[in-house]
Amino acid sequence: MSARSTDGTDATGPATQAVSARERGIVVAVLLLIAVLVTIDVATDLRQGASLWHVVVEIAAGIAAAAGALYLLHGAVRLRRRLARQARDLSAYRAQAEAWQAQARKQVEGLARSIDRQLDCWKLSAAEKEIAFLLLKGLSLKDIADLRGTGEKTVRAQSVAIYAKAGLGGRTELSAFFLEDLLVPSVAATGMEEG
């Protein structure tokens, strides 16, 4: 049994859809062959004077085979159109994502440069600047020590020096200094009211 999506369409993958398309093609060919053979048989029966009932049944069988073939062909065309539309949509989504990522990358690079300039204003050493960036990324003192190949006490002492040079009370104030305005636009700036 195949999975169904919320819109009632087959929610199988491309490999299964390819198998279904192949099987559908075989069934359509068989149904068309049946319709042709029935048409030939009806023509032969009419020339030989077969009973009307026999001819009517064969015509109904031929019509059913042709209708089945048309139904399957119509489904194949609809499936092909849906897949083409999904491919176009996916292409558009990928283009939007790439554009957003490029823009976000520029913004992050600008933010990193701004943070670096502020750290220079605080007269942090190169090691202290590196630790400040790692603190802003959310790494623990132990993780920073492991990453830099130093002791945790050394990183703690350098962190305290960073906070003292910046005039900040700790990691929370350091993060807030750079990131507070990034999280949520203020209500006054957006003109929206809390509900």
C-alpha pair distances (Å), 80 with each of 74, 89, 180: 10, 14, 50
94: pLDDT strictly greater than 90: yes
DSSP string, 158-195: HHHHHHHHHT--SHHHHHHHHHHHHHS--HHHHT----
Q: Return the pLDDT at 16.
A: 53
Q: How far apart are CA 135 and CA 159, in angstroms?
A: 9
Q: Return the pLDDT at 1.
A: 44
Q: How far apart are CA 148 and CA 127, in angstroms?
A: 9
Closest to 125 (Cα-Cα) out of 162, 160, 152: 162
Q: How far apart are CA 75 and CA 165, in angstroms?
A: 71
Q: Return the pLDDT at 187.
A: 52
Return the higher-pLDDT residue of 67 and 20.
67
Phi-psi region of 10 (alpha: psi -120 to 50; beta: other; left: phi over 0): beta
Q: Return the pLDDT at 18.
A: 54
- Residue-wise pLDDT for 119-129, tens only, equals 999 999 999 99
Model confidence at 186, pLDDT cuts 50, 70, 90, reads low
Q: Where are the alpha helices (DSSP H) in 9-149?
A: 14-48, 52-121, 126-136, 141-148
Q: How far apart are CA 47 and CA 40, in angstroms?
A: 11
Helical pair 14-48 and 52-121, crossing angle rounded to 10 deg? 160
User: What letter would DSSP give residue 10?
Assistant: B
Query: What's the half-sphere exposure (Cβ side, CA atoms, 13 Å) at 173?
Result: 11
Q: Per-residue pLDDT averaged across 174-187, rounded?
A: 74
